[in-house]
């Protein structure tokens, strides 16, 4: 019995020490930073030598400071698919990140999307009319400003949200400075490329990608992604569609992360998606 207690104590201490080390490494990394426009900066860091979560990681963060001349918007195809860069360039955006989950075969979102007050896609519920975890949070855009909302348990919640544009996605990771519970489903626990939108304590919006499925960047679990959001001083954060969809584009240099769909460490091969989140000039 004493041996079990000692082993448990050592395991917990090792885990705590590892977490502490990760946070210190993240804090001390030197970010490559580029200005894309007034109040908009792209920051990228490559954690090599298996230094973060005992793995290599390539992280991109587009930081948007609230300004009168900048706004957020959605772009979508109701029943088709396009690349994130096509969406962004077609809408003359400053930047774009892939959006929520979609029908891979036929196109179109499987989650609720409203644009300019018009419903584009309804939720495709699971068996028993149950909401998927990615239908229990929303990006809400009102007058060009973006916020993150949590499902209130009602059937028509998304239709009551106060915004011209609404995109359901998830799982929700942080809300009002509190961690949102995550279960042990493989989607949450296993490492994949990830995309996220988050809001910092000082009200800046972050579009985040973590590349994966490569020796250069392993990808992260949602538990690890949530830690990254915490280290970036976020009060609210939500997961987007990830995997091969994970793409961050900006108008000057194009795709700036390393999408995994092509199996190569380059910026060229993008997966076609059904919707994206845009940063635009008013």
Domain ranges of the chain: 1-30, 33-281
Cβ atoms within 10 Å of 180's Cβ, excluding its own = 18
What are the pLDDT tens digits along the chain (282 aa)? 553 433 344 343 444 445 569 999 999 999 999 999 999 999 999 999 999 999 999 999 999 998 889 999 999 999 999 999 999 999 999 999 999 999 999 999 999 999 999 999 999 999 888 999 999 999 999 999 999 999 999 999 999 999 999 999 999 999 999 999 999 999 999 999 999 999 999 999 999 999 999 999 999 999 999 999 999 999 999 999 999 999 999 999 999 999 999 899 999 999 999 999 999 998
Query: Residues near 168 by Cβ (< 8 Å), separated by ≥ 6?
Result: 100, 111, 112, 113, 123, 134, 135, 136, 137, 138, 158
97 vs 88: CA distance, rounded Å: 9
137 vs 148: CA distance, rounded Å: 7
Global pTM reads 0.93
97 vs 89: CA distance, rounded Å: 12
Omega prior to 103 cis, within 30 of 0: no
210 vs 100: CA distance, rounded Å: 16
Q: First-to-last CA distance in the chain?
A: 66
Question: For residues 186 and 222, is the Cβ–Cβ distance under 8 A?
Answer: no
159 vs 72: CA distance, rounded Å: 19
Chain centroid offset of residue 82 CA: 19
If we measure between CA atoms, which residue out of 114, 110, 220 comes closest to residue 173? 220
pLDDT the model gives residue 18? 54
């Amino acid at each position: 019995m004493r041996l079990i207690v000692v082993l448990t104590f050592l395991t917990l201490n090792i885990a705590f020490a590892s977490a502490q080390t990760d946070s210190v490494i993240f804090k001390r990394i030197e970010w490559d930073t580029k200005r894309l426009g007034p109040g908009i900066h792209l920051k990228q860091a490559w954690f090599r030598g298996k230094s973060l979560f005992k793995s290599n990681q390539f992280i991109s963060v587009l930081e948007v400071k609230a300004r009168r001349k900048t706004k957020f918007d959605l772009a979508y195809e109701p029943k088709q698919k396009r690349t994130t860069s096509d969406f962004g360039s077609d809408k003359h955006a400053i930047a774009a990140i892939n959006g929520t989950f979609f029908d891979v075969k036929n196109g179109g979102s499987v989650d609720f999307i409203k644009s300019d007050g018009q419903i584009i896609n309804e939720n495709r519920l699971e068996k028993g009319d149950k909401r998927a975890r990615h239908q229990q949070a929303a990006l809400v855009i009102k007058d060009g400003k973006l916020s993150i909302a949590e499902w209130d348990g009602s059937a028509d919640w998304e239709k009551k949200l106060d915004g011209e544009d609404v995109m359901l996605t998830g799982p929700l990771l942080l809300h009002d400075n509190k961690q949102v519970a995550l279960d042990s489903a493989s989607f949450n626990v296993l490492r994949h490329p990830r995309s996220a939108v988050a809001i910092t304590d000082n009200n800046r919006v972050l579009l985040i990608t973590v590349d994966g499925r490569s020796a250069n960047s392993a990808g992260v679990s949602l538990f690890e992604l949530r830690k990254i959001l915490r280290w970036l001083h976020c009060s609210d954060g939500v997961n987007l569609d990830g995997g091969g969809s994970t793409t961050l584009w900006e108008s000057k240099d194009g795709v700036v992360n390393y999408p995994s769909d092509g199996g190569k460490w380059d910026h060229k091969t993008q997966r076609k998606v059904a919707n994206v989140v845009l940063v635009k000039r008013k």
